Chain A
Amino acid sequence: MSAAPAAVATHGEAEIKINRLWLFAAGAAVVVNGMFPALWVLLTSLKTEGELTRVPISYLPQDPTFQNYLTAFAAQPLARFFFNSVVVAGLSTVLTLLVSAFAAYAIARLRIRWKNVILSAIVAVSMFPLISLMVPLFQTMRALGLLNTYLALILPYVVLNLPVCILILVSFFSAIPRDLENAAMIDGCTRLGALFRVVLPLTAPGVFTAGIISFVNAWDEFLLALSFTSSMQMRTLPVGITLYQGEFAFPWPIISAALIVAIVPIAVVIVIFQERVVSGLTAGGVKG
């Protein structure tokens, strides 16, 4: 492990060793805290139902089986659910980022009236419990002829994610020195050009954070997905996973297998996007 450049400069050899130890311990604590439930789900997905209620409980699967995964794919069109979730979460994320970047830039950078009122109104949207808005929202979607289409989920997801994404981007955009933008505009950039060439690259951590938030929110949403896309072909993963349940029976190992199928892509997206956050920062740092 290469020593950390920032921390090392003024420390001696011994201190570096201690620092490394602390570094490792802190990292390990974070990893354990974040991973153990997902790990437990993974282990459960390899067990039989009988093993779940053994006393004392077994940690590692005694007789590992992939049967639960086969059952998960055979019992429900899991691949289709997966595809639907990718489409809905992916497109709504792109749309959310575009719309919220424009709005956040206007609020953070331009002289417009009623700025605070607009910002407050946008944030206020997320304060209504979704459950109470279901019926009128359903009626709106029906009037638009969107029920059982991807748009029936994409549009509300964009709206639900707008408040948090706009607020994040506003806070990041406000932190960029105006000189940088002005310099770009003197060089012949338009305002929009400045937004795309200067502001967004510099605030990459914020943009990717907003992106991850809206992707995960869309990926996990249950209530709207249940009611607005009722045909089997249009179901998304969170709703699809609940379909493994019996009237009373809750087949944990099979549901765990389906959950792993749902979590892995999220993990991949996180890993990829997080690398981008770092590289975006480095690029910005060089320029700044």
Chain B
Amino acid sequence: MLRRTVTTGLAAAALAAPLVLGALPAAAQQTTLRVFIGGQQRPDVMRPLMDLFQQQNPGVRVEIEVGGATSEAQQQYLTTVLTSRDPAIDVMLIDVVRPAQFAAAGWAEPLDAYLGGTDRATVLRRYLPGYAEAVVVDNKLMSLPAFADAMFLYYRTDLLQKYGLQPPRTWEETVSHARRIMAGENNPNLQGLNFQGAPIEGTNCTFLIPFWQLGGNLVGANNRVTVNNDAGRGAFQFWLDAMRTHRVSPANSAEVRTDDTRLQFQNGNVAFAVLWAYGWNLFQSEQSQVRGKVGVVPLPTFQGRQSATCIGGWQWAVSAFSRNKPDAAKLVQFLASGVASKHLAINASNLPVLPDLYRDPDVLRTNPWFEAALPVVITARSRPVSPRYPEVSEIIRTNVNGVIAGTKTPQAALTEMESRLQRVLR
């Protein structure tokens, strides 16, 4: 209490000073909810949703707080605020790989008690299965799905047409198509197949996708990590062959980050690219050199294998330190509703979390390719779920980056991954 008085006194003194221009809290009767999203999540598109919620809930005001635009900067800010148990944030948008960590840290408020009598299974039944699964940690509902994402194969329709090729269904086809196109075009700047190998989050998927397709399973029976096996070696060999033997992937793949792939494809220098959903809108924009010449298909798999892709996306969570949890939970349920998901799909091209919207005529008008995306997001797989996921991610991406750069042999990388992952995921 003493601390409180001191704080108030100082705050009053500080407010009196001309230097202090901080916003004063709104009128006493009104609840203000502060929503934290990244600069990249289109605050301009989110705002109308908040306005709609305000209209439906008089007495509640929603403020959007925009954090640094990279996931690193956001994590930095959230860590600072939440570790300090600060009530500054009521609702936050978190990456699909984070709920387990937020649950363990006690940062996210379980939402089960706020569902207004509806039981959890009923609420979650509406969502895509992978996303409904990802929000439940230790039998508690930690968040609700905001929007989906997955990796796809983008290709140049004009180049495929020119050489009479069909969109590839297997990696073998992708590589042979790419070689055919590169030989035919004879353009030293044209890349056959571009993927990400830099030490970034997406590089985990670069490894996990072929690993899964070859039958690998990172965490097997009895929580044993199994990565040092044929699937692991096959996954590495595929990318190394693409770079060195077939020469369809660039020599600097270990430096390629997500947006490098986007930029190069957008400027017409790539025939096939492995990339997240956000590429589509930019490829079809006015600045794009490949406008109207872009196709998207589910990621290829190996001959005779099941397809698999990495799940991505974001979720809404209520801060455990919020002073307005009931209102915050209400807002989160609104933001995870069909209305909100449709708004985000139309205005930001975010893949919806509700399967019906993939057949919605309004959504398909702006994003015709969503229809083809549905089977992909339904079958997309989660990266390992663990409160220590960031450590898992670091182990995988550092080793994959080393192999792609040629500083590590696949065998050395797999051995290190297995022993270090075992310690973390134990």
Direct touch of chains A and B (CB < 8 A): yes
Question: What residues make up the interface of A, taking CB atoms closer than 8 Å to B?
Answer: 48-50, 52-55, 87, 91, 134-135, 138-139, 142-151, 154, 223, 226-227, 230-234, 239, 242-250
Cross-chain contact B14 with A144 (CB below 8 angstroms): yes
| C-alpha gap A250/B84 in the complex (Å) | 31
Task: Choose one: B7, B69, B266, B289; the contact of A243 (CB below 8 Å).
Answer: B69
A232 vs B23: C-alpha distance in the bound complex, in angstroms? 10
On whether A50 and B14 interact (CB within 8 A), knowing A230-B67, A248-B258, the answer reads: no
Given contacts A50-B289, A230-B67, A242-B70, contact A142 B84 (CB under 8 A): yes
- Among B38, B69, B88, contact of A147 (Cβ-Cβ < 8 Å): B88
Query: Contacts of B59 on A, CB cut-off 8 Å?
Result: none
Residue B415 at the A interface, CB < 8 A? no
Docked Cα-Cα span, A234 to B88, in Å, equals: 15
B21 cross-chain contacts in A, Cβ below 8 A: 149-150, 233-234
Bitwise interface map of B from 6 to 33 toward A, beta carbon under 8 Å scored 1, else 0: 1110110010010111110000000000
Contacts of B278 on A, CB cut-off 8 Å?
246-249
Query: Given the interface contacts A53-B263, A231-B23, A247-B41, does A143 sit within 8 Å of B6 by beta carbon?
Result: yes
> Among A50, A149, A242, which residue has its beta carbon within 8 angstroms of that of B22?
A149
Which chain B residues numbered 254 to 270 have a C-beta less than 8 Å away from chain A?
A: 258-259, 262-264, 266-267, 269
Known: A151-B20, A231-B23. 14 other contacts (CB 8 A): A55-B189, A134-B76, A135-B80, A144-B10, A144-B11, A145-B8, A145-B10, A150-B19, A151-B14, A226-B67, A233-B23, A243-B39, A245-B39, A248-B259
10 A/B residue pairs, CB under 8 Å, sorted by A: A55-B269, A87-B19, A139-B84, A143-B3, A143-B10, A232-B66, A245-B40, A248-B40, A248-B258, A250-B259
Q: B residues within 8 A CB of A239?
A: 68
A154 near B77: Cβ-Cβ < 8 Å? no
Instruction: Indicate if the CB atoms of A243 and B19 lie closer than 8 Å.
Output: no
The reply to whether the CB of B372 lies closer than 8 angstroms to some CB of chain A is: no
Rounded to whole angstroms, the CA-CA distance of A143 and B20 in the bound complex is 16
Q: Complex formed: what's the CA distance from A187 to B17 in Å?
A: 40
- Within 8 Å by CB of B262, from A50, A139, A248, lies A248
How far apart are B114's CB and chain A's nearest CB, in angstroms?
25
Determine whether the beta carbon of A242 is less than 8 Å from that of B41: no
Contacting pair B19 A154 (CB below 8 A): yes
* Pairwise interchain contact B189-A249, C-beta atoms closer than 8 A: no
In the assembled complex, which residues on chain A have CB atoms less than 8 Å from the CB atom of B80? 134-135, 138, 227
Inside 8 A of B173's CB, which chain A residues have their CB? none
Bound together, the chains give a CA A145 to CA B77 distance in angstroms of 18
Q: Does B81 contact A (CB under 8 A)?
A: yes
| Residue pair B65, A149 in contact (C-beta under 8 Å) | no
Known pairs A150-B20, A226-B67, A232-B66; A138 contacts B86 (CB<8 A): yes
Given A55-B189, A138-B86: A245 touches B69 (CB 8 Å cut-off): yes
Asked if B282 is at the interface of the complex by the 8 Å CB criterion, the answer is yes
Kindly identify, within residues 55 to 74 of chain B, every residue whose CB is under 8 Å from any CB belonging to chain A.
Answer: 65-70, 73
CB-based nearest B residue for A233: B23
Could you say which of B262, B288, B289 contacts A249, with CB atoms under 8 Å apart?
A: B262
User: How many angstroms between the C-alpha atoms of A232 and B22 in the bound complex?
Assistant: 11
Query: Is there contact, CB below 8 Å, between B40 and A246?
Result: yes
- Establish whether residues B259 and A143, one from each chain, have CB atoms under 8 Å apart when the complex forms: no
Interchain nearest-CB distance for A147 vs B (Å):
7
Chain B 268-282 interface 0/1 with A at a Cβ cutoff of 8 Å (1 = within): 010000001010001
Which of these, B11, B69, B189, B288, contacts A246 with CB under 8 Å?
B69
B83 at the interface (CB under 8 A from A): yes
Q: Do A50 and B287 have beta carbons less than 8 Å apart? A: yes
With the chains together, A232 CA to B21 CA distance in Å?
A: 12
What's the Cα separation between A232 and B11 when bound, in Å? 20
Q: Which residues of B contact A227 (CB under 8 A)?
A: 76-77, 80-81
User: How far is the CB of B154 from the nearest CB of chain A, in Å?
Assistant: 14
In the bound complex, do residue A149 and residue B20 qualify as a contact, i.e. CB atoms below 8 Å apart? yes
Task: Tell me how far the C-beta of B259 lies from the nearest C-beta in chain A, rounded to whole angstroms.
Answer: 5
Question: What's the minimum C-beta distance from A150 to chain B, rounded to whole angstroms?
Answer: 5
Find the B residue at minimum CB distance from A245.
B69
**Which residues of chain A are near B67, meaning CB under 8 Å?**
226, 230
From known contacts A142-B86, A145-B14, A249-B278, infer whether A49 and B76 are also in contact, taking CB-CB under 8 Å: no
Measured in the bound complex, the distance between the Cα atoms of B259 and A134 in whole Å is: 30
| Contact A149 B14, beta carbon cutoff 8 Å | yes
Q: What is the chain B residue whose CB lies nearest that of A143? A: B7
Determine which of A54, A226, A230, A244 lies in contact with B267 in the assembled complex, contact meaning CB atoms within 8 Å. A54
Output the least CB separation between B268 and chain A (Å).
Answer: 9
Whether A49 contacts B287 in the complex (CB less than 8 A), given A143-B6, A247-B38, comes out as yes
Give Cα A55–Cα B190 distance, bound, in whole angstroms.
Answer: 10
> How far is A70 from B3 in the complex, measured between Cα atoms in Å?
47
Residues in B whose Cβ lies below 8 Å from that of A154: 19
Task: Write out, one digit per residue, whether chain B residues 310-325 have a CB within 8 A of any chain A CB (1) or not (0).
Answer: 0000000000000000
Q: Which of B11, B38, B84 contacts A138 (CB 8 A)?
A: B84
Interface string of B66-102 (1 = CB under 8 A from A): 1111100100110111011010100000000000000
Q: Which residues 286-319 of B sit at the A interface, judged by CB distance below 8 A? A: 287-289
**B287 to A249, Cβ gap below 8 A?**
no
The distance in angstroms between the C-alpha atoms of A24 and B81, with both chains bound, is: 54
The residue of chain A having its C-beta at the shortest distance from the C-beta of B257 within the complex is A248
Taken together as a complex, chains A and B put the C-alpha atoms of A49 and B66 apart, in Å, by 25
Q: List, in ascending order, chain A residues with CB within 8 A of B66's CB.
A: 232, 243
The answer to whether B86 touches A91 (Cβ under 8 A) is no
CB distance from B258 to the nearest CB of A (A): 4
B77 with A230: CB separation less than 8 A:
yes
Asked if B287 contacts A48 (CB within 8 A), the reply is yes
Contacts of B88 in A (CB 8 A): 147, 230
Partner of B282, one of A87, A145, A249: A249
Q: Which residue of B lies closest to A146 (CB)?
A: B14
- State the CA gap A145–B86 with chains docked (Å): 12
Bound: A138/B76 CA distance, A:
12
CB distance from B1 to the nearest CB of A (A): 14
Residues of A within 8 Å of B41, CB to CB, are 247
- Rounded to whole angstroms, the CA-CA distance of A138 and B68 in the bound complex is 17
